[in-house]
Amino acid sequence: MVDINPLPLQLEILKGRELSAVTFVRDYLQLAFDGPVLTVISDGVLTKLGTSYRFSDAGFCECIRQTIGSAVTDTDLKLGEFCRVRFAANTIFEVSLRDEDYKSGPEALLLRMEDGSLFVW
């Protein structure tokens, strides 16, 4: 099942779950949460303790790696604007959902649920 117009509430399934794995695949990133997997196609920004890192920044990999094991405390998704995931480790991951920031196609994010359903933004 693919839902191309998902409600922002779909991301709420991540609340309370720990980031369990980060996978770098050429030009995108996958964040696993012990079941659901968020595939990030558009560029993201990770902010930890007031310092922000883009995918291409030298500190991004280390910062996202240090976030593994941190639980999601909140999610926020505003269609056409942004997706934001907050972690307990005072870390925020944000991806733009503005049309001009989409990189290589019509998707910025994909959320694959444990039951196999897929939500696309």
**What digits encode the pLDDT tens for the residues 4-58?**
444 556 899 999 999 999 999 988 999 999 999 999 999 899 999 999 999 889 8
**Unique residue bearing structure tokens 């968020």:** 38
Say if residues 44 and 95 touch (Cβ distance below 8 Å).
yes
Domain assignments of the chain as residue spans, ordered by start: 12-108
Contacts of 86 (CB under 8 A, 6+ apart): 72, 73, 74, 75, 76, 92
Phi/psi zone of residue 64: left (φ > 0), alpha (ψ -120 to 50 degrees), beta? alpha
- pTM for this prediction: 0.88
> What are the φ/ψ torsions at residue 115 (nearest 5 degrees)?
-85, 5
